[in-house]
A = this chain, B = another copy of it.
Amino acid sequence: MRRSTIKDVAERAKVSLKTVSRVINNESSVAQATRARVTQAIAELDYEPDPSARNLRNGFSFAIGLVYDNPNPYHIIAMQKGVLAACRETGFALQIQPTDSNSPLLAEELIEFVQRSRLAGLVLTAPMSERKDLVDALAERGIALVRIIAATDDPADGLPCVYVDDRSAAYEITEHLIQLGHRHIGFLWGGPRHRSSGERHAGYERALQDYGITVDKRLVVPGDYTFDDGFRGARRLLALHEPPTAIFGSNDEIAAGVLAAAKSAGIDVPYELSIAGFEDSPFSRQSWPQLTTAKQATEAIARQATRLLIAGLRRHAYADDATPPRNQGFLPQLVVRGSTAPLRPRATLAKPK
């Protein structure tokens, strides 16, 4: 547990103490090859300059901020775990900043958060990460950031991000329901300000179209990423003259709400109603039956995003000219469990009591 010293770095990089100091203070008088050797030794030894001296000398901060606005505790905790894992790899600390994504002063609030706490950079999650005005305002103020967004492709806009292909995963879930024989499939939206929700809806619609099923707008219900909205949305769908035989909730909390609504109406899941969620949160394995879902590697996604951010910070701090790390995409994977099945041939749907 002994903390590495500047002397350890000098020995490993085979340079003088003075040279290590120059690299740390980002002075220009060090040859590129030497600088690279020192930077590598610093990384390998997990060396950190004395924090007070460091702050005085070069103003480099070793804390980053995580910004989120999400009603799902499992999702937030998984995000935090991933960010913390990357922070620990590199000696950074984490400040958390739940925010109100509706705030008209959001950019100012985040700029103040960064300045007040002298943060080195921000990990922005959806929906903040998907607001171009906000991201531009932060970037213009020189705030280092990385975004976690929903997108089928790298936006390639020059800013670092990790993107999750929610649309393709939602397509797969819908296709799974169609292949079980369902034609009347309900869809419950998540938070409308989250691009993921629109992407999941787009995947749902596209799969129906590809299989020649007419999209019935009555089967699509707005809401947020919460259990309560899943419960309410399902009640509404199940009260239709022709209720759906399957419901796709935009996340696992919504799907759990659908399950509760079905149970309270005496409907047998999965034989009278199939239910699918999204995310593979612990939630999806703790219901009875367990939920079919799309496994979204939230922790790995957050870790990778944070690595991108920190790599950028280090490049900046050490004036490293290496190629920047590339944006990375993730595709959630279909996980089939007990909540989806073919309709029982003889089944007629029980109407909610």
- Quick one: which of B55, B91, B116, B227 contacts A286, CB cutoff 8 A? B227
List the B residue with the shortest CB-CB distance to A290: B260
B-binding segment of A33-41, A70-78, A194-202, A304-312: A70-78
List chain B residues, Cβ under 8 A from A257: 286
* B227 x A63 contact (CB < 8 A): no
Of residues 254 through 301 on chain A, the ones whose CB sits less than 8 Å from some CB of chain B are: 256-257, 259-260, 263-264, 282, 286-288
Contact status B84-A98, CB under 8 Å: yes
The residue in chain B whose Cβ has the minimal distance to the Cβ of A230 is B286
Task: Assess whether A347 is interfacial by the CB under 8 Å rule.
Answer: no
A174 beta carbon closer than 8 Å to chain B: no
Q: How many identical chains are in the complex?
A: 2
Question: Is A96 an interface residue when CB atoms closer than 8 A count as contact?
Answer: yes
Partner pick for A256 among B51, B52, B98, B286, CB 8 A cutoff: B286
**Which residues of B sit under 8 angstroms from A52, Cβ to Cβ?**
118
A117 interface residue (CB < 8 Å to B): yes
What is the interface size of chain A, counting residues whose CB is below 8 A from a CB of the partner?
41
Q: Is A93 an interface residue (CB 8 A)?
A: yes
With A56-B56, A264-B288: A95-B93 Cβ-Cβ less than 8 Å:
yes
Q: A84-B98, A94-B95, A259-B288 are in contact. List 17 more A-B contacts (CB 8 A).
A: A1-B105, A3-B112, A51-B118, A52-B118, A63-B63, A73-B73, A73-B282, A76-B77, A80-B98, A84-B96, A91-B116, A93-B116, A93-B117, A95-B96, A96-B96, A260-B286, A260-B288
Pull 12 A–B residue pairs with CB atoms less than 8 Å apart, ordered by A: A48-B116, A51-B115, A51-B116, A51-B118, A56-B56, A62-B116, A62-B117, A80-B96, A84-B98, A93-B117, A96-B96, A260-B287
Chain B residue numbers with a CB within 8 Å of A77 are: 73, 76-77
A242 at the interface (CB under 8 A from B): no
Question: Measured between alpha carbons, how far is A264 from B227 in the docked complex, in Å?
Answer: 22
Q: Chain B residues near A216 (CB, 8 Å)?
A: none
> A94: which B residues are within 8 A, CB to CB?
95-96
From 7 to 21 in chain A, residues with beta carbon under 8 angstroms from any chain B beta carbon are none
Interface residues of A in 44-87 (CB under 8 A from B): 48, 51-52, 55-56, 62-63, 73-74, 76-77, 80-81, 84
* Closest-CB distance, A137 to chain B (whole angstroms): 15
Q: Which residue of B lies closest to A256 (CB)?
A: B286
Q: How far is the CA of A91 from the CA of B62 in the complex (A)?
A: 20
